[in-house]
């Protein structure tokens, strides 16, 4: 490091990058006092230097050539807030190989390539910080890496995607359809123009992969995580859920299961009274159980330029302090690559079924027979009249292997007396 200064190259000057640049440029003296060294923003990589920006950055600081950052020996740290898998991953690897520390908000890169980058960083004696990759401004990664490190983490349950939580909330409270609620989330600036990553659960999978890997010290790749998005949820499901005492949330769930780990993302009915049931709007919440600490709930704004910049600049300050005190680097995280993820078929869950059925004698008996034959025990049942020829039948079950629940769903859908199984959701 250079004399009492940490020289920073920034990749990306969008929603997050402009807030990071703003803090570095306009609070420089305060940050210097906190870190003990001067944080100097030297270079910013963008695609289009002519684009208007939310922050005033001197034009000569902007470049479109990645080599101006990655090959500049004067830069100590590269902050990556561009997003996407490539070229971001390659840029981070090049930075580390060049002996630079990196700070990133990139969940896709950290979920898919984090262990390799951390290992490389260990070999190069530099640090990789990624607090902002999960939960925006909520201090999660540092909590797992430092404050909860003495624990054997038993379980992580999270509402970790703000867009879907906002959408589900609007469907529940205003009766909007999924499409209407997504359009509203886009107008409010929560959802991307292409909301597939959020609505399909992919964003939550990336975040769960990072948290589970750090929390369990295991290599959990996103492709190993079972995933369902919120596409199948309809406004009527919120009414039934509330009647039964639940809210509908997109849940990211990981738990120790002997020598293996359960890891899955799907919509779920969360009982009223559970802390995750009351997470509202675009907020995120992560509920952790550790063997020493017991239950911990971390909650806050999981997205947005300012909360995310809070994590990015916090990482920079932590890095600057540790480099300044010559206590850098943190031990590279250890990931056991042998830990297996429990296949979803074997996972024990409860389920909610909503079926459109013929309204005539013997229908419920036929449906219940399937549940019985699959060894699935019914916990509650509701039938509502809807018209002369059809009715809606809603069932919740006791805990069963997920494979049995899905077989039940498929068999019921094939019954002559069942028009369709309109919803199939897990119950927490």
Residue 396, CA distances (Å) to 98, 316, 366, 393 in order: 56, 48, 16, 10
100 as an active site residue: the answer is no
For residue 302, state whether it binds ligand HSE (rule: CB under 6 A).
Answer: yes
Q: What is the DSSP letter of 57?
A: -
Residue 414, SS3 per DSSP: helix
For residue 201, state whether it binds ligand HSE (rule: CB under 6 A).
Answer: no
Give the number of residues in contact with ligand HSE, rule: CB under 6 A: 8
The alpha carbon dihedral of 90, 94, 97, 103 has a sign of: negative
For residue 194, state whether it binds ligand NAP (rule: CB under 6 A).
Answer: no
For residue 14, state whether it binds ligand NAP (rule: CB under 6 A).
Answer: yes
Instruction: Find the binder of ligand NAP among 115, 136, 222, 314 (CB under 6 A).
Output: 136
Residue 226, CA distances (Å) to 25, 135, 205, 267, 400 in order: 43, 20, 8, 12, 17
Interface mask toward ligand HSE for 339-378; x: CB under 6 A: ----------------------------------------
**Which region, judged by CB under 6 A, interacts with ligand HSE, from 122-130, 157-165, 313-321, 384-392?**
157-165
Give 324's strand partners. Answer: none
The alpha carbon dihedral of 235, 237, 238, 243 has a sign of: positive
Instruction: Find the binder of ligand NAP among 24, 45, 79, 212 (CB under 6 A).
Output: 45
Tokens 């042998």 found at: 338
- Cα 381 to the center of its chain, rounded Å: 33
Q: How far apart are CA 408 and CA 370, in angstroms?
A: 6
Interface mask toward ligand HSE for 80-119; x: CB under 6 A: ----------------------------------------
For residue 162, state whether it binds ligand HSE (rule: CB under 6 A).
Answer: yes
For residue 198, state whether it binds ligand HSE (rule: CB under 6 A).
Answer: yes
Instruction: Find the binder of ligand NAP among 37, 39, 43, 83 (CB under 6 A).
Output: 83
For residue 19, state whether it binds ligand HSE (rule: CB under 6 A).
Answer: no
Which of ligand HSE, ligand NAP, none lies near 371, with the C-beta cut-off 5 to 8 A by kind? none
The radius of gyration of the chain's CA atoms, rounded to the nearest angstrom, is 24
The tokens describing 114, both together, are 């984090």
Q: Which residues are catalytic?
A: 207
Tell me which residues touch ligand HSE (CB under 6 A).
161-163, 190, 198, 203, 302-303
């Amino acid at each position: 490091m250079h004399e009492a200064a940490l020289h920073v190259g920034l990749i990306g000057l969008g929603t997050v990058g402009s807030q990071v640049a703003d803090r570095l440029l306009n609070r420089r003296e305060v940050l210097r006092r906190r870190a003990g060294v001067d944080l100097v923003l030297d270079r910013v990589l963008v695609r289009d230097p002519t684009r208007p920006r939310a922050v005033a950055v001197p034009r000569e600081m902007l470049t479109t050539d990645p080599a101006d950052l990655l090959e500049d020996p004067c830069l100590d740290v590269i902050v990556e807030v561009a997003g996407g898998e490539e070229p971001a991953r390659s840029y981070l690897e090049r930075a580390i190989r060049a002996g630079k520390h990196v700070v990133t908000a990139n969940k896709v890169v950290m979920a898919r390539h984090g262990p390799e980058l951390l290992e490389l960083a260990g070999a190069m004696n530099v640090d990789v910080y990624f607090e902002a990759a999960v939960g925006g401004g909520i201090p999660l990664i540092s909590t797992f890496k430092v404050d909860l490190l003495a624990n054997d983490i038993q379980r992580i349950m999270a509402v970790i995607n703000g867009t879907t939580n906002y959408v589900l909330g609007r469907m529940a409270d205003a009766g909007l359809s999924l499409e209407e609620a997504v359009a509203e989330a886009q107008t409010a600036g929560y959802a991307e123009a292409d909301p597939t990553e959020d609505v399909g659960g992919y964003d939550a999978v990336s975040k769960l992969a990072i948290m589970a890997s750090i929390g369990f010290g295991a290599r959990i790749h996103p492709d190993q995580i079972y995933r369902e998005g919120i596409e199948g949820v309809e406004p009527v499901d919120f009414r039934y859920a509330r009647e039964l005492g639940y809210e509908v949330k997109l849940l990211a769930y990981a738990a120790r299961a002997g020598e293996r780990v359960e890891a899955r993302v799907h919509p779920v009915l969360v009982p009223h009274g559970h802390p995750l049931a009351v997470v509202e709007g675009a907020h995120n919440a992560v509920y952790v159980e550790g063997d020493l600490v017991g239950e911990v709930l971390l909650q806050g704004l999981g997205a947005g330029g300012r909360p995310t910049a809070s994590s990015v600049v916090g990482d920079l300050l932590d890095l600057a302090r540790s480099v300044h005190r010559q206590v850098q680097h943190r031990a590279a995280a250890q990931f056991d690559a042998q830990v297996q993820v429990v296949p979803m078929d074997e996972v024990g869950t409860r389920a909610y079924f909503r079926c459109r059925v013929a309204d005539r004698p013997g229908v419920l008996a036929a449906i219940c027979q399937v549940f019985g034959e699959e060894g699935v025990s019914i916990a509650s049942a509701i039938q509502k009249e809807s018209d002369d020829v059809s009715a809606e039948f809603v069932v919740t079950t006791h805990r069963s292997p997920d494979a049995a629940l899905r077989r039940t769903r498929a068999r019921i859908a094939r019954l002559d007396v069942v028009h369709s199984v309109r919803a199939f959701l897990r119950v927490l």
